[in-house]
Amino acid sequence: MVSVGDLVTSTARNCHELQEHGMESDGPNIIYPFSSHPDNTVLVYCDQTTEQGGWTVIQRRIDGSEDFYRDWQEYENGFGSVEKEFWLGNIVIHELTEQTVNEILVELEDWVGEKRHAHYKMFHIADDKIEENKQHH
């Protein structure tokens, strides 16, 4: 593991693996989620402090600065900035959830600071080709 500026580099597939290698602070990091293309990297935001950390953030909305009214292609590929507001992208989320059992933590906060959360022990995004086959049968 090598530190480049504020980024920690390794061959970790997700933020949980980065945490296992000693990365303890929240912020942007590079991961390698694609098993079929192990050299392809993705810049993600890691939450290493909420509920024992290890969370790869897939969506972040803070102040409405990013337009989330997008078409399917944009949701598939992802958009925004991991340092601000973003959607990680269905392709990346599928890769992250394809190889292992995953949890998802949904955190909501209103404009006055009231917070709620839901923690699900199993989370998976299917491949869009699988979903297309289900719709045709």
Query: Among the residues of the chain, which ranges form H helices?
Result: 15-20, 72-77, 90-98, 128-136
pLDDT tens by residue, 115-129: 999 999 988 888 776
Closest CA to 72 of 131, 133, 122, 13: 131
Contact (CB, 8 A) for 58 and 93? yes
The stretch 50-62 carries a mean pLDDT of 94
Domains of the chain: 2-100 (3.90.215.10)
Q: For the segment 64-118, what is each residue's pLDDT rounded down to a tens digit?
A: 999 999 999 999 999 999 999 999 999 999 999 988 888 899 999 888 989 999 9
Q: What 8-state DSSP symbol labels residue 49?
A: S
Q: How confident is the model at residue 27 (pLDDT cuts 50, 70, 90)?
A: very high
Q: Which long-range contacts (CB under 8 A, 24 or more apart) does 116-120 make?
A: 119/51
